[in-house]
Amino acid sequence: MAADPRTGPGPAADPGAAALPLAGITVVALEQAVAAPFATRQLADLGARVIKVERPGEGDFARSYDGVVHGLSSHFVWLNRGKESIALDLKQDADRAVLDALLARADVFVQNLAPGAAERLGLGAEELTAAHPRLIVCGISGYGTTGPYRDKKAYDLLVQCEAGLPSITGGPDEPAKTGIAVADIASGMYAFTGVLTALYERAHTGRGGRFDVSMLEALGEWMGFPLYWTEYGGVPPVRSGARHATIAPYGPFPADDGQVFLAVQNQREWGALCRDVLGRPDLEHDPRFAANPDRLAHRDALDAEIADAFRGLSAERVLARLDAAGIANARLRDMAGFADHPQLAARDRWRTVDSPAGPLRALLPPVTVPGREAAMGAIPAVDQHGAAIRRELGLA
């Protein structure tokens, strides 16, 4: 049976995805590493059929980043559930014919190849949208398709550096990158929202379109506060470790058996902290601490006063006082602590997904819609669906 070119070459991979908002949408992804796979995984969770095109043999190179998840890569497990995998050598005519047949039936094409690679393969956005007027084409690059950096290779840490993120992260003596691939994640999320916007627009116009997302510009959007602080304040935010650069008190403080984190956001909370938590109402109107700029200017003295008030108290007791006073607080958990977080367990946020290594635990996506649950399909092996897709296209 011929496939409807508006809905793709077949039904969604997950039978339970029929009720999801992107059921019937087919995404072809020529993707690797983090940024594009992060975007397309969100689409798969919403019910889209995502066909991941990989290199024959090794597949997406993120598969070999590590082997800690029962032999699978932690990055790949995180980013690729719910997708179908087909291995294609796009320099071979027969394999290129498979990709062309998929694109003729697809709704969305996403790629994050090296600069210029898509164009060299005849997969440039302008060329594809001319050939397939209903197709939505998304390209993710490091620095954009124009400008002096257009051909520059880009990886997450390097883009963080170009965006200035390490210059404001870390302690006073040394900058630091973030512990997660924040430039990749930012660009992946903007690609995801870009696809949703384009699908909405196509529903009204009947036409597809093309757009690109730059990792530098995506992360730059997230750098708005330090950018404005520096542009109009004349100096960059001070690197302050785990403490907030521009609000005090906001950060870690010692109790007798560990650290607690607290955050004071306004004058009302400052007064409550002094009276009800520290037992020091005199500090509320101390000229050194009267307003946030004063507290920042005398932060070392303020930290010493808070540490003195917490001396002899357990972390649990300090947190109880903060809760009673309506002061935001947290305890510092490691990854094992997060995995066992009582809030996630109470809200039933964990599910099991299948994989080549067997069942694995996975968190539900953070958008919760009553009566609906994300597809969260299996993690594919390289070319696991290649033969079936070829048969479906009549190209076995």
Write the DSSP assignment of 64-91 as a string of letters: GS--TBTTB-HHHHHH-TTEEEEE--TT
Q: What is the spatial distance between Cα 263 and Cα 273, in angstroms, rounded to a whole number?
A: 10
How many structural domains are present in the chain? 2
Q: Are residue 63 and residue 183 in the same domain, yes or no?
A: yes
Single residue among 282, 306, 333 that ends a domain in this structure:
333
Kindly state whether residue 144 falls inside one of the protein's structural domains: yes
Q: Are residue 84 and residue 205 in the same domain, yes or no?
A: yes
- Amino acid present at 238: V
Q: Which of 143, 157, 164 is nearest to 215 (CA)?
A: 143
Over residues 381-395, the pLDDT tens digits come to 999 999 999 999 999
Q: What is the spatial distance between Cα 163 and Cα 168, in angstroms, rounded to a whole number?
A: 10
Q: Please, what sign has the CA dihedral across residues 287, 291, 296, 302?
A: positive
Domain housing 291: 250-333
Single residue among 289, 305, 333 that ends a domain in this structure:
333
Kindly state whether residue 151 falls inside one of the protein's structural domains: yes
Q: Are 73 and 34 in contact (CB under 8 A)?
A: no
Q: Are residue 188 and residue 256 in the same domain, yes or no?
A: no
Q: Are residue 44 and residue 161 in the same domain, yes or no?
A: yes
Q: Are residue 99 and residue 189 in the same domain, yes or no?
A: yes
Give the bridge partners for 259, in sequence order.
254
Q: What is the spatial distance between Cα 65 and Cα 76, in angstroms, rounded to a whole number?
A: 8
Kindly state whether residue 119 falls inside one of the protein's structural domains: yes
Kindly state whether residue 328 falls inside one of the protein's structural domains: yes
Q: Are residue 90 and residue 192 in the same domain, yes or no?
A: yes
Q: Are residue 28 and residue 136 in the same domain, yes or no?
A: yes
Kindly state whether residue 159 falls inside one of the protein's structural domains: yes
Q: Are residue 267 and residue 329 in the same domain, yes or no?
A: yes
Q: In the annotation, is 244 catalytic?
A: yes
Point out the catalytic residue in the list 75, 132, 204, 244: 244
Kindly state whether residue 7 falls inside one of the protein's structural domains: no
Per-residue tens of pLDDT for the chain, all 396 residues: 333 333 334 333 444 444 899 999 999 999 999 999 999 999 999 999 999 999 999 999 999 999 999 999 999 999 999 999 999 999 999 999 999 999 999 999 999 999 999 999 999 999 999 999 999 999 999 999 999 999 999 999 999 999 999 999 998 889 999 999 999 999 999 999 999 999 999 999 999 999 999 999 999 999 999 999 999 999 998 888 888 888 999 999 999 988 999 999 999 999 999 999 999 999 999 999 999 999 999 999 999 999 999 999 999 999 999 999 999 999 988 899 999 999 999 999 999 999 999 999 999 999 999 999 999 999 999 999 999 999 999 997
Q: Are residue 50 and residue 115 in the same domain, yes or no?
A: yes
Give, in order, the Cα–Cα distances in Å from 146 to each of 117, 160, 294. Answer: 15, 19, 45
- Could you tell me the CATH number of the domain that includes residue 323? 3.30.1540.10
Q: Are residue 294 and residue 361 in the same domain, yes or no?
A: no
Kindly state whether residue 52 falls inside one of the protein's structural domains: yes
Q: Are residue 185 and residue 106 in the same domain, yes or no?
A: yes
Kindly state whether residue 126 falls inside one of the protein's structural domains: yes
Q: Are residue 279 and residue 380 in the same domain, yes or no?
A: no
- Could you tell me the CATH number of the domain that includes residue 104? 3.40.50.10540
